[in-house]
Amino acid sequence: MTQARQPSIQVVAHRGASEDAPEHTLAAYKKAIEDGADALECDVRLTADGHLVCVHDRRVNRTSNGRGAVSALELADLATLDFGSWMETMDSEESPDWKDRSLTSVLTLERLLELIADTDRRIELAIETKHPTRWAGQVEERLLQMLARFGLDGPAPGESPVRIMSFSARSLHRIADAAPQLPTVYLMQFVSPRLRDGRLPAGARIAGPGIRIVRNQPGYVERLHKAGHRVHVWTVNEPEDVELCVSLGVEAIITNRPKQVLSQLGRL
């Protein structure tokens, strides 16, 4: 299915090009950049020794050859694990890099920021804080320290290339307090009654509804737009959902398949 060119919709690679390469690895993010993604999405968690690493689940069991909670492991422990072999049954013809061990070790946020800094075109980054309440502000504090090291925490000419996303309104509130210039995205799996009119919690600027909300609640995206919010929808993998997002004029599509979505949008 092809569509008219829609250059205004940002295509965000969810956990990297995570359908073609192991999620949250350099292999997946390099592939997403090669594929032409406008932005990358990553989840961040704190290790036991206070490093921010890009891992979705609370535990490493699903995506590595190790076991245990990220929060109970030190970075040196995580560095011994292989975050790629769980995908080795996949056909590697398309993206051979994901079997390269150097590209599938644990990814720190710092390394991901270096990759983006080394890329010769603008790549935006949507960073999601995972389980931030458990850490009472430490995730946000470390995150802002890391962004400061890369010069990404201050006012940027135009909009910052980095935005912070969370299902936790409290986490976004902390970010908005400490760094009001950074865009914040409130992620939603469902719409609570007090937000049905298109409002967002204090501290949140952009709305991040799941695709099920967009499919099942006609008029909601329009209400968000009317309330002055941009809309970033996750996780949009099916062509008919891309088409729906285009028809509703959303500002960003977060997808495991950046190449296919760019192709559908007429951008490849």
Q: Which residues bind ligand G3P (CB under 6 A)?
A: 14, 41, 43, 56, 128, 187, 234-235, 254
* Residue 259 binding target from Ca ion, ligand G3P, none, CB below 5 to 8 Å by type: none
Residue 94 vs residues 90, 97, 99, 121, 235: alpha-carbon distances, Å:
10, 9, 12, 23, 22
Q: Rank residues 27 and 126 by Cβ distance to ligand G3P and give the closer one.
A: 126
Nearest-approach distance from CB 131 to ligand G3P, in angstroms: 11
Contacts of 63 (CB under 8 A, 6+ apart): 22, 23, 24, 55, 56, 57, 83, 86
Q: Choose between 19 and 128: whose C-beta lies nearer to ligand G3P.
A: 128
In the list Ca ion, ligand G3P, none, the entry touching 187 (Cβ below 5 to 8 angstroms by class) is: ligand G3P
Q: CA 128 to CA 87: how far, in whole Å?
A: 23
3-state secondary structure (DSSP) of residue 204? coil
Among 20, 43, 140, 241, binds Ca ion (CB under 5 A): 43
Give least dist CB 40 to Ca ion, A: 11
The answer to whether residue 56 is catalytic is yes
Q: Which does 31 bind (CB under 5 to 8 A by kind): ligand G3P, Ca ion, none?
A: none
Helices in the chain by DSSP H: which ranges?
26-35, 75-78, 109-117, 138-149, 169-178, 211-216, 220-226, 239-248, 258-264
User: What mask, x for binding Ca ion by CB under 5 A, covers residues 119 to 148?
Assistant: ---------x--------------------
| 160-193 as b/e: b if 16+ CB within 10 A | bbbbbbbbbbebbbbbbeebeebbbbbbbeebee
What the block records as the tokens of 216 is 């099942």
Where in 32-141 does DSSP place strands (E)? Answer: 39-46, 52-53, 124-129
Smallest separation (angstroms) from Ca ion to the CB of 83: 16
8 vs 133, beta carbon nearer Ca ion? 133
Minimum distance, C-beta of residue 157 to ligand G3P, in the bound complex (Å): 26
- Segment near Ca ion (CB under 5 A); pick from 43-51, 105-113, 119-127, 223-231: 43-51
Which residue in 14, 24, 51, 229 is the catalytic one? Answer: 14
Residue closer to ligand G3P (CB basis): 69 or 77 = 69
Known catalytic membership, residue 225 = no
Residue 2 or 241 with smaller CB distance to ligand G3P: 241
Write down the least CB distance from residue 155 to ligand G3P, Å. Answer: 25
What letter represents residue 210's amino acid?
A: G
Residue with nearest beta carbon to Ca ion: 128
> 52-53 and 39-46 as β-strands: parallel, antiparallel, unpaired?
antiparallel
- Cross-strand bridge partners of residue 185: 165, 206
Candidate list 51, 56, 229, 232, residue with the active-site label: 56
Cite the active site residues.
14, 56
Please give the residue ranges that form the binding site for Ca ion (CB under 5 A): 43, 128
